[in-house]
């Protein structure tokens, strides 16, 4: 999808998305660890279970160029 948003810079889009995913994972692990230390492992597990739903809701906010009728 990132390549479709930036058709003239596909490699840059791929690299940016991969870097963002790796960086976000590192920060997320740190935050989940802090939650586990403070509130316990069950609370951290419940938080991990909610994260996909939050991601799905955020994905709905992404622009979809193929629905707007734009040609690449």
Q: Which helix (H) or strand (E) holds 49?
A: helix 41-59
Question: Bigger pLDDT: 11 or 2?
Answer: 11
Helix count and strand count (H, E) for the chain: 3, 0
Answer whether 0.85 is exceeded by the pTM: no
pLDDT, one tens digit per residue, over 4-54 is 777 788 888 888 889 999 999 999 999 999 999 999 999 999 999 999 999
| pLDDT number for residue 67 | 66
Contact call for residues 2 and 14 (beta carbons, < 8 A) = yes
């Amino acid at each position: 999808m990132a390549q479709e948003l930036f058709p003239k810079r596909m490699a840059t889009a791929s690299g940016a998305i991969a870097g963002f995913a790796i960086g976000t994972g590192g920060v997320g692990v740190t935050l989940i660890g802090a939650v586990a230390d403070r509130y316990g492992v069950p609370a951290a597990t419940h938080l991990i279970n909610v994260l996909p739903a939050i991601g799905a809701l955020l994905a709905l906010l992404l622009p979809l160029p193929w629905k707007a009728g734009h040609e690449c």
